[in-house]
Structure 1
Amino acid sequence: MVERAFMVRAGNDNELVEDFESRSLVAISWAELGDVSEIRSYDEMKSQFNAIDAYSKHNDRHIAQSAGQVHRFAVEMEEGHLVLSYDKTEREYLIGQVTGDYEWEPGDHPPGYPHVRRVDWKDSISRDVFTTATKNTLGSTLTVFSLDDRLDEIRAVLAGNIPDGSEDDEESVPFVDEVANQADELISDILANMDPFVFEELVAAVLRAMGYHAKKTRDRQDRGIDVIAHPDALGFEEPYIKVQVKRQQSTVGSPDMRAFTGTLGNGERGLFVSTGGYTKDARDAARTAEQRVTLIDRDAFIDLLIQHYDELEAEYQATVPLKRVYIPSQDPPLKE
């Protein structure tokens, strides 16, 4: 048997931790799936989710993520593997060892959590004992996830050896930066899969949120210009801004840039938005253009979107649904 470790959360809000400990088990919900003891592969698990009305209405990412968690619990987890569960009231991790096969127990307690694994709990370990890197891993919001890359540290802690986290803490990325980077990548995923015409509308909406009067042009009249914007409602004030929008993976080259700058007349400014970025020649062409041109790549657009999100019209917030959360602006100070 290959040594492995898994985290299983004690319900949605820590409500099952006493049951887990007193009944020597871990359990997960997804009750509508039924008994999955005959399922042996991840693809079979996904098919089971897609066959259930309660789950098939979810998007592909949600189904894939849920199927992965149940597969880890019912198939990958084996007798002898380590399992952790968090008691957030005490800020302690229960650490135990799986003692048997997957069980389907729909009539057993806790109700609504019929997928069960029996566990021999070995110890309770304070969260503060672990290194920053391990605490970040343990902080995942998934119900079931692998801790294989932290197995050595977990075994050491279980044996009473407190890890020296000084080197780990010095090299680890601050949590706030890690979360921000992950959020940017997830937003980028949404933009990458957005219809190009919807993305053009979103660019116009962000400009309106910034205080400009902006609208998407009519396709047959745009001559390569996707959005027009200006400071006042009637369009009398300068600058008159022409915007070209490219939602693509490839970089914009100098021919496209020169074609764009050629549409700019006196008193007009250019704004080029490209999620794929720009070649050096394209940037040079924009810099030497007769009229001023501003370039916005994917990261810069995401920054603008986040900065002006609260002022964005509701229909466009719905295209990139974001939620404001508060996290520590820095990791806890190192212990001496």
Structure 2
Amino acid sequence: MTERAFMVRAGNDNELVEEFKSRSLVAVGWEELGDVSDVRSYEEMKARFNSTDEYSEHNSRRIAQNAGQVNRFALEMEEGHLVLSYDKTEREYLIGEVTSGYEWEPSDHPPGYPHVRRVEWEDTVSRDEFTTSTKNTLGSTLTVFSLDDCVDEITGVLSGETPEESEDDEDTVPFVDEVENQADELISDILANMDPFVFEELVAAVLRAMGYHAKKTQDSQDKGVDVIASPDSLEFESPYIKAQVKRVQSKVGSSDMREFTGTLNNDERGLFVSTGGYTTGAEDAARNNEQRVTLIDRDKFIDLLIEHYDDLEPEYQATVPLKAVYIPSQDPPLEE
């Protein structure tokens, strides 16, 4: 039957791989859902998650993602489909064929993993046997996901064929660049949904992390200046900085820029932070003001946030929670 293929990860940390092998099965958690054999659709699966106390407090995105995984395991997967699981220790994939329907086995399963499918394991294949694009797909962190786009390559490898890297694979964006771009976009999403006043506080916090003494102005008296900063706490040292902060989708125009530069005295510097960027007119207005205005767009602000994140006060780290992760700085070279 084949036609479709799925990955089912062997627990959270590869701890179930030997049990998967010896007992000829794959299994997933979400034990509190109970038996889902009566569920008939993805929407019903989401409803089950929402009505289960242990999951009902999760946000909608997490519920949708987890419901999709259980739905794939219990409803989409069928006898005859290919199923893969990964042995991280050996860097190889178990590949087999699903031989049963969905089973609820709370008393005969890997502890905490009562949703079961029986499998006839056919072979193991080294990760190195697959092309770059397929390895990228196989690297998803989800517990259960579709491998339909890779099924031809997987069946070919099973039959002894050696897949060739396509031109698309060779032109693939390096993994580190892809991760950085995705991270920047996710940070951008957080900023785009942040309260504008909280964003102003965050800008002041980043300036403090950079070594400035910075604070948000009183909203009713700011006259277009949202943050003030100085190299010293008594504001004796130059330059004295006035900042305007806009968490917006559209570009700042020349009129807004001229209005802001009009607040600057001769011994003051201006900082304009806009997540929407600037029109050419606004950039010209900033340059014509004796080079005393520095423009920060979304990308530059994210760069500053990441660069000085470790020195950011904990309450402001919490507004944009980030985790440091080590990843290879370049992809492995393609084989000749």
State TM-score, norm by structure 2.
0.95
CA contact (8 A) 2:109 2:116 kept: no
* 1:267 counterpart = 2:241: no
Q: Deviations over 1:120-150 (max 9, x none)?
A: 2221100001111211121111111122222
Aligned match of 1:123: 123
Q: What's 1:80 paired with?
A: 80
- SS of 2:63's equivalent in the other structure is helix
Distance 2:176 2:195 in 1: 31
- Kept in 2, the 8 Å contact 1:268–1:291? The answer is no
More moved, 298-307 vs 280-289: 280-289
CA drift at 1:317: 0.8
Is 2:314 the counterpart of 1:320? no
Q: Is the 8 A contact 2:261 2:270 kept in 1?
A: yes
1:219-258 equivalence runs, <5 A: 219-258=219-258
Q: Aligned pair 1:28/2:59, yes or no?
A: no
How much has 1:179 moved relative to structure 2? 1.3
TM-score by length of 1: 0.95
Say whether the 8 Å CA contact 2:2–2:80 is kept in structure 1: no
Structure 1 gaps of 5+ residues are none
Render the CA deviation track for 1:94-114: whole Å, top value 9, x for unaligned: 112222321111111212101
8 A contact 1:261–1:291 mirrored in 2: no
* AA in 2 matched with 1:82: L
Question: Quick one: distance in 2 between partners of 1:41 and 1:275?
Answer: 40
* Deviation at residue 290 of structure 1 after TM alignment: 4.2
Distance in structure 2 (CA, Å) of the matches to 1:229 and 1:161: 64
- Aligned-partner Cα distance in 2 for 1:208–1:197: 17
Match of 1:248, SS state, is: coil
Q: 3-state SS of the aligned residue for 1:172? A: coil
CA contact (8 A) 1:10 1:17 kept: yes
Instruction: Report the counterpart of residue 277 of structure 1 in structure 2.
Output: 277
Q: Which residue of 1 aligns with 2:133?
A: 133
- TM-superposed CA distance for 1:280, in Å, is 2.0
Structure 1 residue ranges, 4+ long, deviating more than 3 angstroms after superposition: 166-169
Identity of aligned residues (%): 80
For the residues of structure 1 that align with 2:275 and 2:120, how far apart are their CA atoms? 51
Match of 1:111 in 2: 111
Instruction: List runs of 5+ in structure 2 lacking aligned partners.
Output: none
Rounded to whole Å, the distance in 2 between the matches of 1:306 and 1:335 is: 35
> Which one-letter code corresponds to 2:5 in the other structure?
A
Query: Matches of 2:103 and 2:155 in 1, distance apart?
Result: 26
Partners of 1:180 and 1:168 in 2: CA distance: 20
Aligned-residue offset at 1:204? 0.6
**Counterpart contact for 1:131–1:168, Cα < 8 Å:** no
Secondary structure of 2:320 counterpart: coil
User: Does the CA contact (< 8 Å) of 1:132 and 1:168 recur in 2?
Assistant: no
Structure 1 stretch displaced more, 299-308 or 112-121: 112-121
Residue 43 (structure 1) shift: 2.3
Q: Residues of 1 paired with 2:77 and 2:288: CA distance?
A: 61
Equivalent residue runs for 1:132-151 within 5 Å: 132-151=132-151
8 Å contact kept, 1:212–1:231: yes
- Give the Cα separation in 2 of the matches to 1:2 and 1:272: 58
Which stretch shifts more, 268-277 or 40-49? Answer: 40-49
Aligned residues: 336
* Structure 2 residue aligned with 1:43: 43
Give the secondary-structure state (helix, strand or coil) at the position aligned to 1:252.
Answer: coil
> Deviations along 1:152-206, whole A, 9 cap, x unmatched?
2222212211112264542111111111111111111211221111111111100
Question: Residue 275 of structure 1 contacts residue 297 of structure 1 at CA under 8 Å; is this kept in 2?
Answer: yes
Q: Aligned pair in 2 of structure 1 residues 110, 37: CA closer, same or farther (>3 Å)?
A: same
* RMSD between aligned residues: 1.7
The amino acid of 1:280's aligned partner reads T
Deviation at 1:221, TM superposition (A): 0.5
Asked if 1:176 corresponds to 2:158, the answer is no
Q: Distance in 2 between matches of 1:268 and 1:77?
A: 66
